[in-house]
């Protein structure tokens, strides 16, 4: 049994949509995957630092009309922590391609939040998936600018190389208010149960190692050059109150990608799909109808 599966036995008792969870071996690693529903296949990829709990409210809504597949990113949640080379953007894209082949799934709708959107974009551009629509929810598709862009990856690489750092961070996440403060800085407001799931993750050194490893190996320069190749299948949903990936960045992406759609949503932050899953369920249903993935109601 992998350490991630041991964590599942220890920590997963109250995990959202637990009955939909299973473990899958693909590409030399063990994945935690949630699957539910029937119909056109929808792939959900969460962002850095999260896990499948991020889709806790949205997954069962989508499962009324779709076959939903929601994996934990490598090193996140209850998926195994791979070698650093698999935590690059191309490496993660290839790893997810292997997982989908193992599952026998060709997603018709690919939905990614934050960094999850960048992974899906890389998969589309590399020919690993060919969805009718790629949906970016507050997608982190462009490199950080200015001083943060120059410091982000080197700092993450330094921290990732120090074995004690994940344990120190996980220990610090126990303190009252730490996780709540991190979430508030995204511009979102979550209930106590959702905050508890983030706290559970951030108290796990293996998960923190996966997050730091991903941040240390993250490079969006090549993706930025190739974004125009996504064309009209790209649909951008940006939340007006997002303090992590401001909505104006989605407007920049739209200007770069011929035919891309953009919708800006008021009153929500970076974790908007967690704050109001019903809103995103309606948006995705409307998009699926528009792309011919669902039949119009009689």
Residue 12: per-residue pLDDT: 85
**195: Cβ–Cβ under 8 A, 6 or more apart, which residues?**
179, 180, 183
Looking up tokens 């997982």 gives 99
pLDDT at 75 over 70: yes
pLDDT at 149: 46
| pLDDT confidence of residue 157 | 59
The length of the chain in residues reads 298
- Per-residue confidence (pLDDT) for residue 5, from 0 to 100: 85
Domain segments of the chain as ranges: 3-144+220-290
pLDDT at 95: 95
The pLDDT tens digits for 164-210 are 677 776 777 778 888 999 999 999 999 999 999 999 999 999 999 99
Across the chain, what does the average pLDDT equal? Answer: 91
Architecture of domain 3-144+220-290: 3-Layer(aba) Sandwich (3.40)
Q: Which residues contact 186 (CB under 8 A, 6 or more apart)?
A: 242, 243, 244, 269, 270, 271
Q: What is the DSSP string of the chain?
A: --HHHHHHHHHGGG-TTGGGEEEEEETTEEEEEEEE--SSEEEEE--TT--GGGGTTHHHHHTTTSEEEEEPPTTSTTS----GGGGSHHHHHHHHHHHHHHHT---SEEEEETHHHHHHHHHHHTTS---SEEEEES---SPPPHHHHHHHHHHHHHHHT-THHHHHHHHHTTSTTHHHHHHHTTT----HHHHHHHHHHHT-HHHHHHHHHHHHT---HHHHHHGGGGGGGEEEEEETT-SSS-HHHHHHHHHHSTT-EEEEETT--TTHHHH-HHHHHHHHHHHHHHTTSSPPP-
pLDDT at 85: 78
**Mean pLDDT across 53-58:** 98
Distance CA 286, CA 288 (A): 5
Cα–Cα distance between 121 and 114 in angstroms, integer? 11
Order of all β-strands in the sheet with 133-137: 21-26, 29-36, 67-71, 41-45, 109-113, 133-137, 234-239, 261-265
**What is the per-residue pLDDT for 168?**
75
Contact 36, 105 (CB under 8 A): no
Query: For 97-152, what is each residue's pLDDT tens digit?
Result: 999 999 999 999 999 999 999 999 999 999 999 999 999 999 999 987 643 444 45
**Sign of the dihedral through C-alpha 190, 193, 199, 204:** negative
Top pLDDT among 37 and 151 is at: 37
Q: How high is the pLDDT of residue 65? A: 96
Q: Give the pLDDT score at 198.
A: 95
Distance separating alpha carbons of residues 218 and 55, to the nearest angstrom: 23
- Residue 92 pLDDT > 80: yes
Q: Are 280 and 235 in contact (CB under 8 A)?
A: no
Residue 297: pLDDT band (50, 70, 90) is low
pLDDT at 150: 42
What are φ and ψ of residue 218, in 5° steps? Answer: -85, 130
Q: pLDDT tens digits, residue range 215-266?
A: 888 889 999 999 999 999 999 999 999 999 999 999 999 999 999 999 999 9
More confident residue, 264 or 212: 264
């Amino acid at each position: 049994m992998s350490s991630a599966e041991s964590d599942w036995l220890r920590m997963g008792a109250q995990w959202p949509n637990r009955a939909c969870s299973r473990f899958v071996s693909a590409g030399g690693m063990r994945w935690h995957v949630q699957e539910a529903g029937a119909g056109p296949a929808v792939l959900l990829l969460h962002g850095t630092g999260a896990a499948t709990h991020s889709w806790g409210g949205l997954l069962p809504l989508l499962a009324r009309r779709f076959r939903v597949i929601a994996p934990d990113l490598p090193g996140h949640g209850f998926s195994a922590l791979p070698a650093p080379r698999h935590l690059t953007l191309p490496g993660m894209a290839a790893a997810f391609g292997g997982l989908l082949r193992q599952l026998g799934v060709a997603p018709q709708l690919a939905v990614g939040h934050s960094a999850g959107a960048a992974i899906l974009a890389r998969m589309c551009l590399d020919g690993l998936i060919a969805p009718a629509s790629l949906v970016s929810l507050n997608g982190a598709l462009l490199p950080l600018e200015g001083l943060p862009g120059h410091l982000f990856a080197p700092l993450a690489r330094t921290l990732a190389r120090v074995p004690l750092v994940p344990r120190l961070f996980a220990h610090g996440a126990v303190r009252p208010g730490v996780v709540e403060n991190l979430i508030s800085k995204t511009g979102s407001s979550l209930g106590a149960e959702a905050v508890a799931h983030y706290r559970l993750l951030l108290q796990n050194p293996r998960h923190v190692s996966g997050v730091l490893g991903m941040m240390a190996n993250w490079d969006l320069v090549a993706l930025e050059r190739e974004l125009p190749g996504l064309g009209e299948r790209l649909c951008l949903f940006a939340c007006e109150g997002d303090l992590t990936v401001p909505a104006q960045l989605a407007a920049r992406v739209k200007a770069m990608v011929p035919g891309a759609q953009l919708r800006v949503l008021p009153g929500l932050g970076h974790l908007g799909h967690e704050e109001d899953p019903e809103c995103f369920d309606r948006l995705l249903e409307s998009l699926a109808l528009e792309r011919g993935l669902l039949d119009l109601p009689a």
